[in-house]
Amino acid sequence: MGRVYNFSAGPAVLPEEVLKKAQEDMLDYNGCGMSVMEMSHRSKMFDDIIKNAEANIRKLMNIPDGYTVLFLQGGASLQFSAIPMNLAKNGTADYIITGQWAKKAALEAEKFIKVNRPASSEDETFSYIPDCSDLNISDDADYVYICENNTIYGTKYHTLPNTQGKDLVADVSSCFLSEPVDISKYAVIYGGVQKNVGPAGLVIDIIRNDLIRDDVMEKTPTMLKWKTQADNASLYNTPNCWAIYICGLVFEHLLNNGGLEGAKKRNEEKAKILYDFLDSSKLFKGTVRKDSRSLMNVPFVTGDDELDKKFVAEAKENGMENLKGHRTVGGMRASIYNAMPKEGVEKLVTFMEDFEKKNLK
């Protein structure tokens, strides 16, 4: 079987060019006679790989000098603990609840600090982003936390919250590198890379330098203290060398294809094809309020569970995989990350049109 169109929410599709380059390098990276997986993380070769990766993500995202980039392990979920441990001063933070990932992050933080929840969209199954222009932000909040793109529900902030001067911390796991961002608006921006950037098991943190401190919460594990990682250039212990290498290839690939402006343009084009169809369909319905739609994750339903199942099964037979919605939402979800080709979305929509003709009662 050849390659399928993989609509998985994560781990997810990677650029074919990058996979081929990795294949080429597999046995002998750059003439050194071994693969990246086999080399010392203290070697000159790996030092070049990680330094290049950092330089390239800085270029791509236009990261100002006053921010540190860390390549860490434990995925986005371990940062749910690291964030309160590193940022707590007053011991209070405000979490805006727009889905399962924000909820989990808030619950984890609550083990260590006081958590307020100034807004939530749980009342309508997280199908929209609440108005965050005038929130009741706690006076003593050390930071305001958001999950910027909600992978499960398919919502995205189109305007960042008014934090009333408080530091903003954002989980961007599922919209990482999907469009340009103004880093200076954030105190911390971080994401697990397996949604839109690389293989699972690596999380990238971009942290304003003044927040990398020694006076973190008492008994913060050494590995979770950002200063440990920053002082050691992400090499305090053995990092996920392979994932860093693949991310580096993805950064280069994006830089060679118009940077994040280029990515945004392609992502908007792809999402429009699917949303336009959903808006005109008599069978399928998007589940997200229009002003909150994500360019990356597109959930939709027919309103009939059996028909949804049939759709997912028949799509798979036609080379389109992982279209089943998250177990907490049901229906379908098409994740159309950077590396999903436009042809994949076109094929999906053609298939949906055909399915609608056959199944519309």
Ligand X SMILES: *Cc1c(COP(=O)(O)O)cnc(C)c1O
The verdict on whether 171 is a catalytic residue reads: yes
Site for ligand X in 299-318 (CB under 6 A): none
Q: What is the DSSP string of 9-39?
A: SSS----HHHHHHHHHHSSSGGGSSS-GGGS
Residue nearest to ligand X (CB): 75
- Contact at 8 Å (CB) between 185 and 159? no
Q: How far is the CB of 289 from ligand X (least distance, A)?
A: 19
Which residues are registered as beta bridge partners of 97? 120
CA 206-238-106 angle, to 5 degrees, is 45
Residue 173 binds ligand X, judged by CB under 6 A = yes
Looking at 195, 225, 293, 333, which residue binds ligand X (CB under 6 A)? Answer: 195
Looking at 84, 130, 154, 192, which residue binds ligand X (CB under 6 A)? Answer: 192
Which residues are registered as beta bridge partners of 301? 285
Catalytic residue of the set 94, 142, 167, 171: 171
Give me the 29-68 binding string for ligand X, x by CB under 6 A, dash otherwise.
Answer: ----------------------------------------
Residue 151 binds ligand X, judged by CB under 6 A = yes
- Give Cα 11 distance to the centre of its chain: 10
Q: How far is the CB of 361 from ligand X (least distance, A)?
A: 35
Residue with smaller CB distance to ligand X, 157 or 351 = 157
Nearest CA-CA partner of 249 in 11, 55, 21, 75: 21
Looking at 81, 174, 234, 335, which residue binds ligand X (CB under 6 A)? Answer: 174
Distance CA 241, CA 361 (A): 53
Length of the chain in terms of residues written: 361
Nearest CA-CA partner of 176 in 156, 160, 159: 156
Catalytic residue of the set 195, 225, 270, 324: 195
Distance CA 99, CA 151 (A): 9
Distance CA 145, CA 188 (A): 9
Residue 332 binds ligand X, judged by CB under 6 A = no
Residue 156 binds ligand X, judged by CB under 6 A = no
Q: How far is CA 303 from CA 25, 121, 287, 306, 327, in A?
A: 47, 21, 10, 9, 15
Count of C-beta atoms within a 10 Å radius of residue 343: 10
Residue with smaller CB distance to ligand X, 175 or 283 = 175
Distance CA 119, CA 157 (A): 13
Residue with smaller CB distance to ligand X, 150 or 302 = 150
Residue 75 binds ligand X, judged by CB under 6 A = yes
Catalytic residue of the set 101, 166, 205, 324: 101
Q: How far is the CB of 260 from ligand X (least distance, A)?
A: 18
Distance CA 143, CA 153 (A): 24
Residue with tokens 């990515």: 263
The verdict on whether 195 is a catalytic residue reads: yes
Stretch that binds ligand X, among 155-163, 167-175, 224-232, 247-255 (CB under 6 A): 167-175
Residue with smaller CB distance to ligand X, 191 or 331 = 191
Residue 73 binds ligand X, judged by CB under 6 A = no
What's the half-sphere exposure (Cβ side, CA atoms, 13 Å) at 75?
11
Stretch that binds ligand X, among 61-69, 72-80, 118-126, 241-249 (CB under 6 A): 72-80
Residue with smaller CB distance to ligand X, 29 or 130 = 130
Site for ligand X in 90-149 (CB under 6 A): 101, 147
Looking at 108, 142, 167, 171, which residue binds ligand X (CB under 6 A)? Answer: 171
Q: Strand, coil or helix: what is 311?
A: helix
By CB under 6 A, name the binding residues for ligand X: 10, 75-77, 101, 147, 151, 171, 173-174, 192, 195
**Residue positions annotated with a catalytic role:** 101, 171, 195
